[in-house]
Amino acid sequence: MMSMLFSANAQWVLLSTLILGMASGMIGCLAYWKRQSLMSDALSHAALPGVVIGFALIGSKNLPVMIAGAAVSALLGALLIQWIRTSSRIKEDTAMGMILSVFFGLGIMLLTIVNRTAGGNQSGLDSFIFGQAASMVRKDVTIMLFLAAVVILVVCIAFKEWKLFLFDPEFARGLGLNNRLMNSVYLAVLVLVIVIGIQAVGVILMAALLIIPSVSARYWTHSFKWMVILSAIFGGGAGMTGTLISTMGVGWPTGPFIVVASSALFVISIVFGSEKGLLIKALQLRAQKRQHVYAVMERSSAERGGGMG
């Protein structure tokens, strides 16, 4: 175990899941405030057919090509969701569920076909279902680090614009901010963080790395800035912890352990969170009841004193 952690490749993998978790946490906050948390789940599932098609076109595991295929597939899924929502009476969450199911079913069908071809069953494509960070090589890690860094920079550089876009789009439009452009950038970075994370976390569980850290951060602060920072910390910590645990066994998938680590942070946040935590609420309620009792006792004492006078 320790020898694996001291290896250069393992350290690069840990660094990549740390940066991926940070990027996912930050983008998750944008999705949370746009009330599109389910969108990340739909697009991560929609990326699977593109991954398999990218592999089939090249005939080997080429991460840039597979990322490009995943991005095209996920963007197609997003466009279909938008088209269904605008051209019918179907609600957005229903459209997301439809696209999620159809694209994931198509991806599993294509994956089964490819795995039956010569060399397909040794391709490692199955690792894209639940994630397998240990199977990543230095080139994969470098590509993931670069793209995740781009996502983080996009959020940080345009932070003021994101606040206006999310909380007061009408005011933002009045200031000359192009909401359609911001929507396009938001969709682009959401798709980007999904497609770079599916090898490490998997298409099924990638949404959890986007949703859980941001929801956990919400229990600690009302500030959007600190929510983004905490979500990045939670996401990065969960990514590293899950990767560390998955290295303890042979062939253990990374995604489930990252989700378990994220869930542990969520439980801690929902109980001990300084803003909305259950413990804080219970203590505040207890203090309010005590103040109410004291106020009633003082009022009763004052009334008795006045009656005696």
Helix axes 138-157, 8-33, angle to 10 degrees: 30
Q: How far is CA 251 from the centre of its chain?
A: 24
pTM over 0.75: yes
Whether pLDDT at 188 is above 60 = yes
Say if residues 104 and 203 touch (Cβ distance below 8 Å).
yes
284 in a structural domain: no
Mean pLDDT of 183-208: 88
Which tokens sit at 139? Answer: 């080139």
Number of domains in the chain: 1
Q: What is the pLDDT of residues 253-268, one digit of tens each?
A: 888 899 999 999 999 9
**Residue 309 clears pLDDT 60, i.e. is over it:** no
Contacts of 111 (CB under 8 A, 6+ apart): 48, 52, 125, 126, 129
pLDDT at 74: 93
Specify the pLDDT at position 7.
67
pLDDT for 125 beyond 80:
no
Arithmetic mean of pLDDT over the chain: 85
264 in any annotated domain = no
In contact, 51 and 43? CB cutoff 8 Å = no
Report phi then psi at 284, rounded to 5: -65, -40
Quickly state the pLDDT bin for 187 (edges 50, 70, 90): very high
| Between 92 and 227, residue with greater pLDDT | 227
The whole-number average pLDDT for the span 241-255 is 81
Sole residue written with tokens 């352990």: 257
Q: Which of 106, 99, 111 is nearest to 41 (CA)?
A: 99
Q: Which tokens in the block code for residue 147?
A: 């793209």
- Nearest to 189, CA basis, from 224, 142, 156, 225: 156
Is residue 262 assigned to a domain? Answer: no
Q: Which two tokens stand for residue 221?
A: 């602060």
Predicted pLDDT of residue 101: 92
Please check whether residue 178 lies inside any domain of the structure.
yes
Is residue 92 within 8 Å of 201, Cβ to Cβ? Answer: no
User: What is the rounded average pLDDT of the residues 185-212?
Assistant: 89
Least confident piece of the model among 72-76, 135-139, 197-201, 232-236: 135-139
Which of the two residues, 83 and 277, has the higher pLDDT score? 83
Residue 181 within a domain: yes
Its sign, for the CA torsion 185, 190, 193, 195, is: negative
Q: Is residue 177 left, alpha or beta, with left meaning phi > 0 and alpha meaning psi from -120 to 50?
A: beta
Within-domain flag for 272:
no
User: Is position 305 within any domain?
Assistant: no
In a domain, 263, yes or no: no
Quote the domain boundaries for residue 176. Answer: 2-207
- Name the helix (H) or strand (E) containing 221: none
CATH of the domain at 154: 1.10.3470.10
Residue 127 clears pLDDT 80, i.e. is over it: no
* pLDDT exceeds cutoff 60 at 242: yes
Tell me which residue of 271, 211, 274, 220 sits closest to 238, measured CA to CA: 211
Closest CA to 27 of 174, 146, 191: 191
